[in-house]
Amino acid sequence: MRIDHGGLLVSDVARAVRFYVDALGLTEVTRPSTFDTPGAWLQVGDQQIHLIGETEPGRAQAMTPAYDHAEVVIGYGTHLALVVDDLDEALARAARAGVTPPGEVFARGDGVKRVFVTDPDGHVIELMQTGITVTGDEPRLKAPERG
């Protein structure tokens, strides 16, 4: 068994494609012509992300969790994780496309450093780099308090 793709409902397919291609470096691939709904398919490694265009205005926003800042910063909630070869390079690419993470890069304690960004519809995306030296000083991660 393996994961083939993940699907994300988006309000504006063209805008979402620009984000995933320009800011994150994914590749748009041909979508079968049998779909009568708006959408686009993106390749990431051996898997895909399928962007599903809403056909009812406001539907994407209504179905996307509304996380607060503290939750996005540590990835507390539903998110996709993309492994990158060089996190600094990935962040520079995102910055050139106008995307700034709401929080800092931090180590996870298992040889991974990561940071979170959101797409134009609020879907949370983790950018992570593996093979990082574990120091023992990595921060403890707790669920944020909601006030």
For the segment 69-101, what is each residue's pLDDT rounded down to a tens digit?
999 999 999 999 999 999 999 999 999 999 999
Contacts of 59 (CB under 8 A, 6+ apart): 9, 11
For the segment 25-36, what is each residue's pLDDT rounded down to a tens digit?
999 999 999 999
Q: Is the pLDDT of residue 118 over 70?
A: yes
Predicted TM-score (pTM) of this structure: 0.92
Q: Is the pLDDT of residue 147 over 70?
A: no
Terminal-residue alpha carbon distance, the chain: 41
Domain 5-130 annotated CATH 3.10.20.340: no
For the segment 4-20, what is each residue's pLDDT rounded down to a tens digit?
999 999 999 999 999 99
Q: What is the pLDDT of residue 139?
A: 81
Q: If you average pLDDT over residues 98-124, what whole number do you get?
A: 94
Q: What is the pLDDT of residue 40?
A: 99
Of 102, 33, 99, which Cα lies nearest the Cα of 67? Answer: 102
Q: What is the pLDDT of residue 136?
A: 83
> For residue 17, what is the DSSP state?
H
Q: Report the percent of the chain where pLDDT is more than 90.
A: 83
